[in-house]
């Protein structure tokens, strides 16, 4: 049992339009409430039952350049090993009390692995993924299956799978980790186990593709021998070549007059579990959006929160009343019910195509599972 | 957008077995983290990724006697009306920072309505129920359907249904409210709307049964005209006579040698949605447990938290390392992964049968929907 | 393997608007088809791919009076025992080739048990139910649970449950059996096993209620100890008092101006599995309809077929271009896509209320599971 | 309504171990049954309720060589056009009364299209697919989307989609069609509508890939803009290159010691709906099996029936007590509960690899949807 001590708290009778008259009798009553650990609804209702979600988090942007710089310094100063487990540095939303929570439910961190380094094996109920905005040469060993990581790849890993990381190259590598750590912290669901100290020699040999891709990476084809399996996708890598091709196909279909895009100039895919078409992870949705040069997406509000990373191109993104110019690697958060839109614009790091490519992850599956999802399109 | 200001925070390099050496260079790095709103995993992992859930909440007991006394005083001092909406006084777990949260996800309150009083109509996405441990004479008008409330009745009401309360008698009435307010606060999903100021005259006439019971309260029978409807049960009242009879039947079946109980001397039912057999509310499970005189339930740990109210009888309940003698009306909480067991013993308020009757509600549907449910039976 | 011999068949070249010219070359081709066991689409398409379902079955009515008379004679002449298993006499749709199929998918039979007789225990994958239009005193022992049968009771029993019948009285009793025998015959899914020769003495003692009702017969309450179980309802008896009350409630709600009925003067309930709200049996839907004196239901066409039995009252039913005056016990079939309506009228066997009460079962769950369900309301 | 006349039938009292004594009284009773259109269970139970499925169909083999020869002759003699709709010639199981049913639930036909020919547009509730064992140059226009067909491709098309065929080459092309015509005929669910007489000029231009593939053919990626859609896969072509690669991957994984195959030397994939992982069609499962040279599959019995076509290689297949040497294009059926196994052996038409490649389709989704699926592995 926790040994946390009770927090003394004090109820204050205030003079307000919907509040009872602050008389001595009321003060006496409030002292009784405090003594019995009770809090009335009428003093809290505005905070707890607002007319629409008002997030404790705020929109915020982190520059990739600064993240990589600090991560590289951590590479020199902070060893990776048992106990600390990972050289991961998390985004801390400005208004979430210094906790490493990008949003109230989502964790986003830059992870950094030095040449030849290993991050030790463990497993946890938290659902996780990796997304690679630049570099290659690391692979993650998931349940004994080495999964190479390269620019543009999305690598999900459902909770309770053993995993370790291995950098086989002579260069450091950085990528982002997304997890549902805050959600599982808030709901108090999490379990953790330490695994092997070292991965095997066989697991150190770079594979062409992971075994999961060889079984599950063929479009519309299910291996007959596959067991139903646990929750979360059995496919451990979604390669950039497929994502890029799918987005290109959507935009060409639009050009040919057939639709296929979300709206004009805005292509998007969701990463899904090939076994059942559901989200890759029970608590995390992952998507890739492409906005063509000059296009702007319709502002949308949704219950639940998102983290975006700019994968390529540059442009302007608007979250609530914040607006930022963004470029490759930049990360930003969209709190619950804040309207979001993105505009693709010319910038210095653009690829030839000049599209704005955005990777996104969110807690949408939680809201859908509980029937709490709502969406509203704002007029621009 | 929220106008909350950023929380300044400070990372401290500590000397620990799994921590990097606290050098000036590390301190400089940590200042860089602070400036960029970053927090490393290695200083937080013990809190965020424990080996098993360690709740921020603690086991705690509230005595019904004291709750009713304070609620009655609030009845004299605090009017019910638009703005404050309800004369509800919530259990505040000692270690949850003075917030009106019985557990990290559950709200439990005593509500009190004076003779002739109305609580005004509103609706919200939060899922709610009422449970009546004593008294009668109030009815809740849900979507225009007056639902009488009497001792032993369980009255669920899924989110976004209009509802008001009306006390038609010349005596005050108290009952408990259960909601998922903390969960929706944490995930930031909630919407709220004000309804009519007054219920209609027709809604003030006491019905024998609610319309919902006349449509949906027949065992195994679905009205053909019923639309699929939204999430949450269409049945607005689960009457004590049915609950009591079901528990009595289980114990008799056990006596006849046929099983039917959870374990020897322990009968239990779950309140379910007759349309699909699911939990009555998407985020809240409700159950009723009966422990026969002298029996004790096996200690069980579960992810997720529960609130119990003693409906009848007396006994001893053990939650983690806390043990209390309980009697009618007493409320207590079981935080995530704390073992719970109950023993029925003779006491002063017992009914003839002498069973310990416990009403329970929990956040289990959330954990099951997200695949985060785990259960473990401890040896006694 | 079946030893059935090949059926010789002959293709005839016909002169028709959509047929190839019947030349000697075509005749030669058709002989080639025959030799290789081939049949062209173009000669069969009108039968196999009609514009809408045209049933091989026809609407037909069987008079209860005649069924009971013949069943009683069978009671004298045909013993019940191992091998023949049941004294059941099935409705054979006039155009289904003398097979005991009420419709292409449904079996409906009168079963008759003499005083003191037992029908031996067996089990089969075919899903079954009993419905009692008159009499009492028999109980069915399902998996060791004696289930009394009385007028108005609906008694479903999912496939692969052991069951036997026992007539404890000194009077014969008749009831109807409904099964999916034709469907399982057509799809070739069926298994069968013989059980005990005799039921036990304990199973011969009349219970007040079956154990299944004591566990599952409480509205909206699920026994916590119940395992998920197999497909099909765990509740083995749906008693007339509940069905009657539910229909009465619907009609009163309609009178009070609140809806609840299917249409004016037409109340109806579906018998459902309390564990999940699904149909009582995976392949059979069962409903009860009440049409008030003078009311007439809207003609409806549905894919799939139904069998109706008049439970009480009298009236006129219209199926396709057939129209019959019906009274208590009469059985009739509605083939796929034939419009059906019922009108309640005064008759000689009516109860005081004068409603037309109709029990109905159909293969609707099959059509819904396969996405083949369609409904169309005709103008009267 | 059907104008089919009642079938007179005659019940014969027989002398048998489980039959009532054939007395004049019994004969009189049977005449009464006939008059009232009744059939007793006791004379039919052996046929209707066997101990396990005994199919009315028999194992049978059709040689591709003969099918193509006859289809080519039909190409000369039978025009394709409105009314006959398709030049499709169906397998007629020897014991299914000359009806064009490969099994009691499945239709399998060779379809043949002459150079430049079009098959007119229509739609029907029957679910369909095409599989190409040789040739190319035809495309099917499904809902306006031209879908090229080439050797090895599997092309499903859910019910109620408009479709036409177009042969753009100067050579005839043959392929097989699979449908659930018998099932929908037996259950009487089918609807049919005629479409346009001609496809548009735009639909006559050969696409590289169908639009459906551009939207849905990327592994694990769902187009965000896609609506939930109706039942059945939105992906209209499963290309040979993917199928072949998936099977090759499985066999290599097995060689590397990791499993992935069904059993030693036996790789297999199921074609699935990428939107939800279910079977491509609500009533039809499609699979591809590869048996390596020298390997033999374990005999398996299943409820439900299958049709196989040899895609490549040669070998021996055993169905019940039938055994055939098979080679490219040969088709055979496996009736319900008949054990099936395949052995790969050297033959004259083999590709270099020498595997036996088998395409299979079955009615398994029907059995699973209704809970009637059973499987049993026999010892070889």
User: By the CB < 8 Å criterion, does D304 face chain C?
Assistant: yes
Q: Are D175 and D131 in contact (CB under 8 A)?
A: yes
First-to-last CA distance in chain D?
51
| Residue (of C196, C197, C139, C144) closest to C168 by Cα position | C139
Inform me whether the C-beta atom of residue D72 falls under 8 Å from chain C C-beta atoms: no
Chain A interface, mutation test: which of B7, B28, B42, most A Cβ atoms within 10 Å? B42
- Residues in C closer than 8 angstroms to D368, CB to CB, are none
Q: Exposed e or buried b for every residue in C128-146, given b needs 16+ CB within 10 A?
A: bbbbbbebbbbbbbbeebb
Cα C311 to Cα C338: distance, rounded to the nearest angstrom: 22
Please state, in angstroms and as integers, the Cα–Cα distance from residue D278 to each residue in A215, A278, D281, following that order.
Answer: 17, 12, 8
SS3 content of chain C, % helix, strand, coil (to 5): 20, 30, 50
Query: Each residue of A74-91: pLDDT tens digit?
Result: 999 999 988 889 999 999
Whether B50 and B72 have beta carbons less than 8 Å apart is answered as no
How is residue C83 written in tokens?
């091998």
A55 HSE (CA, 13 A, CB side): 29
The answer to whether A5 faces chain B, any CB pair under 8 Å, is yes
Output helix, strand, coil percentages for chain D, rounded to the nearest 5. Answer: 20, 30, 50
pLDDT-wise least confident of B64-68, C79-83, C310-314: C79-83
- Residue of A6, A40, A82 to mutate, testing the B interface (most B Cβ within 10 Å of its Cβ): A40
Is the CB of A271 inside 8 Å of chain D's CB atoms?
A: yes
The domain limits of chain D are: 1-49, 60-216, 240-377
B249: closest CA of chain A, how far (Å) = 33
- For the complex shown, is ipTM > 0.85? yes
Contact D191 C52 (CB under 8 A): yes
Distance CA A247, CA A256 (A): 14
Cβ–Cβ below 8 Å for A253 and D219:
no
């005596």: which residue's tokens? B171
Specify the higher pLDDT residue, B351 or D217. Answer: D217
Q: How many CB atoms lie within 10 A of CB C289?
A: 21
Asked if A104 reaches chain B (Cβ–Cβ under 8 Å), the answer is: yes
Per-residue pLDDT of chain B (380 residues; tens, 9 = 90+): 334 556 677 888 888 888 899 999 999 999 999 999 999 999 999 999 999 999 999 999 999 999 999 999 999 999 998 888 999 999 999 999 899 999 999 999 999 999 999 999 999 999 999 999 999 889 899 999 999 999 999 999 999 999 999 998 999 999 999 999 999 999 999 999 999 988 999 888 888 899 999 999 999 999 999 875 668 999 999 999 999 999 999 999 999 999 899 999 999 999 999 999 999 999 999 999 999 999 999 999 999 999 999 999 999 999 999 999 999 999 999 999 999 999 999 766 556 568 999 999 999 999 999 999 999 998 76
Q: What is the pLDDT of residues D7-50, one digit of tens each?
A: 677 888 888 888 899 999 999 999 999 999 999 999 999 999 99
**Residue A352: φ, ψ to 5°:** -60, -40
- Please report residues of C whose CB lies closer than 8 A to that of D336: 187-189
Distances (CA, A) of D223 to A145, A296, D341: 28, 19, 40
Using the Cβ of A253 and the Cβ atoms of chain D, whether some distance falls under 8 Å is answered with: yes
Task: Give the containing element (helix H, strand E) for A184.
Answer: helix A181-187
Q: Residue A359 — φ and ψ, nearest 5°?
A: -95, 140
The pTM for the full model equals 0.95
Residue C252 DSSP SS3:
helix
- Closest partner residue to C218 (CB to CB) among B215, B246, B276 is B246
Which residues are registered as beta bridge partners of C90? C109, D39
Contact C238, C157 (CB under 8 A): no
Give CA–CA dist B86/B315, Å, rounded.
32
Nearest CB partner across the interface for B54, out of A2, A55, A181: A2
Measured from the Cβ of residue C252, the count of other Cβ atoms closer than 10 Å reads 14
Asked if residue B267 lies in contact with residue B297, where contact means CB atoms within 8 angstroms, the answer is no
Distance of CA B25 to the CA centre of its chain: 50
Residue in D222, D259, D271 closest to A277 by CB: D222
Nearest to D84 among C45, C84, C85 (CB): C45
Cβ contact, residue pair C7, D56, below 8 Å: no
Label residue D162 exposed, middle or buried (CB < 10 Å: 0-12, 13-18, 19+). middle
Comparing CA positions, the residue from D376, D42, D374 lying closest to residue C187 is D374
Of the candidates D2, D32, D38, the beta carbon closest to that of C56 is on: D2
pLDDT at residue number A2: 38
Residue A56 contacts residue B188 (beta carbons within 8 Å): yes
Q: Which of A49, A75, A229 is the best residue to mutate to test the B interface, defined by the most B CB atoms within 10 Å of its own CB?
A: A49
* Interface with D, mutate which of A154, A209, A219, A273 (most D CBs under 10 A): A219
Q: How far is C235 from chain D (nearest CA, A)?
A: 18
List the 204-223 stretch of A: residues with Cβ below 8 A of B.
Answer: none
- Residue among B222, B250, B253 whose CB faces C277 most closely: B222
Whether residue A332 contacts residue A306, with contact meaning beta carbons closer than 8 Å, is answered with no
Is A199's pLDDT higher than 70?
Answer: yes
Identical fold between C60-216 and C240-377:
yes
**Backbone φ and ψ of B330, nearest 5°:** -60, 145
Instruction: For residue D45, list its beta bridge partners.
Output: none
Using a CB-CB cut-off of 8 Å, the residues of chain A touching B89 are 33, 38-41
- Residue D274 contacts A, CB cutoff 8 Å: yes
Nearest chain D residue (CA) to A246: D218
Q: What is the pLDDT of residue A17?
A: 80
* Chain D CB within 8 Å of residue C229 CB: no
Residue with token string 């289930």: C147
Cβ neighbours, 10 Å, residue C23? 11
Whether the CA torsion B143, B146, B147, B151 is positive or negative: it is positive
The predicted structure's pLDDT at residue D83: 84
pLDDT at B2: 38
Q: Which residues of chain C does D334 touch, with a Cβ-Cβ cutoff of 8 Å?
A: none
Residues in D closer than 8 angstroms to A223, CB to CB, are: 246, 250, 260, 268-269
Stated length of chain B: 380
- A242 and chain D in contact, CB less than 8 A: yes
Is the predicted pLDDT of residue C177 greater than 50, yes or no?
yes
Residues contacting D358, CB < 8 A, separation 6+: D288, D289, D290, D291, D308, D309, D310, D311, D342
A neighbour chains, 3+ CB pairs within 8 Å:
B, D
Hey, of D220, D236, D242, which one would you mutate to test binding to chain A, going by the most A CBs within 10 A of its CB?
Answer: D220
Q: A17 contacts in B (CB within 8 Å)?
A: 83
Q: For residue B198, give Cα distances in angstroms to A137, B120, B166.
A: 68, 7, 10
* B–D touching, 3+ CB–CB pairs within 8 Å: no
Would you call A287 an interface residue with chain D, using a CB distance cutoff of 8 Å?
A: yes
Average of per-residue pLDDT across A154-164: 97
Q: Which residues 6+ apart lie within 8 Å of C79 measured at CB?
A: D20
Q: What is the pLDDT of residue D122?
A: 97
Task: Tell me whether D375 touches chain C (CB under 8 Å).
Answer: no
Cα-based torsion angle of the residue sequence A165, A166, A171, A173 in order, rounded to the nearest 10 degrees: -10
Q: Which residues contact B182 (CB under 8 A, 6 or more apart)?
A: B99, B101, B103, B104, B105, B106, B107
Residue among D329, D335, D90, D64 at smallest CA distance from C34: D90
Residue B380 is given by DSSP the state -
C-alpha to C-alpha distance for C349 and C326, rounded to whole angstroms: 10
Report the residue from B25, B89, B305 with minimal CB separation from A33: B89
Please enumerate in sequence order all residues whose Cβ is within 8 A of that of D372, keeping only pairs 6 or more positions apart, or say none: C125, C184, C187, C189, D303, D304, D366
From residue C312, how far is each of C60, C237, C342, C344 by CA, in Å? 19, 20, 13, 10
Model pLDDT for residues D112-124, shown as the tens digit of each residue: 999 999 999 999 9
For residue C283, what are its two tokens?
A: 């392949």
Is the minimum CB–CB distance between D229 and chain C shorter than 8 Å?
A: no
- Positive or negative: CA dihedral D304, D309, D313, D319: positive
* A and D: number of Cβ contacts within 8 A: 143
Q: CB neighbours (10 Å) of residue B107? A: 27
Q: How far is CA A186 from CA A104, A181, A361, C344, in A?
A: 9, 9, 19, 60
Beta carbons within 10 angstroms of residue B346's beta carbon = 11
| Rounded Cα distance, D152 and D141, in Å | 19
By the 8 A CB rule, do A310 and A327 touch?
A: yes
pLDDT digits (tens, 9 = 90+) for C122-173: 999 999 999 999 998 898 999 999 999 999 999 999 999 999 999 989 999 9
What span, in angstroms and rounded, lies between the C-alpha atoms of A291 and A297?
Answer: 8
Contact B281, C220 (CB under 8 A): no
Q: In what order do the strands lie in the sheet with C38-40?
A: C38-40, D88-91, D107-113, D173-179, D128-131, D154-157
What was the pLDDT predicted at A348? 61
Torsion from C-alpha of B95, B100, B104, B110, nearest 10 degrees: 120
Parallel, antiparallel, or unpaired for β A322-326 and A314-319?
antiparallel
Spell out which residues of chain C touch residue B225, defining contact as CB-CB under 8 Å.
Answer: 250, 259-262, 268
Contacts of B8 in chain A (CB under 8 A): 98
Q: Is D202 helix (H, G, I), strand (E, B) or coil?
A: helix
* CA-based nearest residue in chain D for residue C369: D369
Task: Measure in Å the smallest separation between the Cα of B195 and chain C Cα atoms.
Answer: 21
- SS3 for C220-267 is CEEECCCCCCCCCCCCCCECHHHHHHHHHHHHHHHHCCCCCCCECCEE
Residue partners of C46: CB distance under 8 A and separation at least 6: none
Enclosing H/E stretch for D375: strand D375-377
Q: What are phi and psi of C71, to 5 degrees?
A: -65, -40
Q: Do chains A and C touch (3 or more CB pairs under 8 A)?
A: no
Residues A60-216, CATH architecture: Sandwich (2.60)
Reading phi first (left if > 0) and then psi (alpha if -120 to 50, else beta), residue C345 is in: beta
- What is the four-CA torsion angle of D254, D257, D258, D262, rounded to 10 degrees? 40
- Residue A326 to residues A58, A344, B43, B335, Cα–Cα distance (Å): 17, 10, 30, 43
Q: The domain A240-377 is classified under which CATH number: 2.60.40.10, 3.40.120.10, 2.60.120.10, 1.20.1740.10?
A: 2.60.120.10
């Amino acid at each position: 049992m926790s040994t946390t001590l009770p927090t003394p708290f004090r109820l204050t009778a205030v003079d307000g339009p919907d509040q009872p008259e602050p008389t001595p009798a009321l003060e006496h009553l409030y002292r009784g409430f405090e003594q019995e650990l009770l809090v009335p609804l009428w003093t809290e209702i505005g905070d707890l039952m607002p007319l629409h979600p008002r997030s404790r988090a705020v929109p915020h942007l982190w520059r990739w350049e600064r993240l990589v710089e600090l991560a590289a310094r951590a590479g020199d100063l902070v060893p990776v090993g048992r106990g600390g487990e990972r050289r991961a540095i998390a985004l801390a939303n400005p208004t979430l009390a210094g906790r490493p929570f990008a949003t109230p439910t989502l964790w986003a961190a830059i992870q950094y692995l030095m040449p030849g380094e290993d991050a030790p094996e463990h497993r946890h109920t938290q659902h996780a993924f990796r997304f690679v905005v630049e570099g290659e040469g690391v692979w993650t060993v998931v349940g004994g299956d080495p999964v190479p990581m390269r620019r543009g790849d999305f690598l999900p890993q459902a909770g309770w799978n053993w995993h370790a990381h291995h950098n086989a190259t002579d260069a450091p590598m950085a990528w982002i980790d997304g997890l549902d750590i805050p959600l599982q912290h808030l709901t108090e669901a999490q379990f953790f186990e330490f695994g092997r100290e070292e991965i095997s020699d066989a697991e150190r040999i770079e594979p062409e593709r992971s075994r999961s891709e060889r079984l599950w990476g063929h479009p519309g084809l299910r291996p007959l021998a596959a067991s139903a399996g646990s929750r979360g996708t059995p496919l451990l890598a979604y390669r950039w070549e497929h994502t890029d091709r799918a987005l290109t196909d959507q935009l060409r279909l639009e050009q040919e007059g057939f639709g296929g895009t979300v709206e004009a100039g805005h292509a998007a895919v969701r990463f899904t579990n090939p076994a059942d078409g559901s989200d890759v992870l029970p608590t995390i949705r992952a998507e890739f959006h492409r906005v063509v040069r000059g296009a702007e997406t319709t502002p949308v509000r949704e219950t639940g929160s998102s983290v975006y990373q700019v994968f390529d191109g540059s442009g302007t993104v608007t979250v609530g009343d914040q607006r930022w110019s963004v470029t490759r690697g930049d990360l930003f958060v969209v709190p619950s019910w804040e309207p979001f839109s993105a505009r693709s614009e010319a910038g210095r790091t653009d690829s030839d195509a000049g599209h704005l490519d955005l990777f996104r992850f969110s807690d949408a599956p939680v809201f859908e599972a509980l029937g709490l999802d709502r969406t509203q399109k704002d007029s621009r």
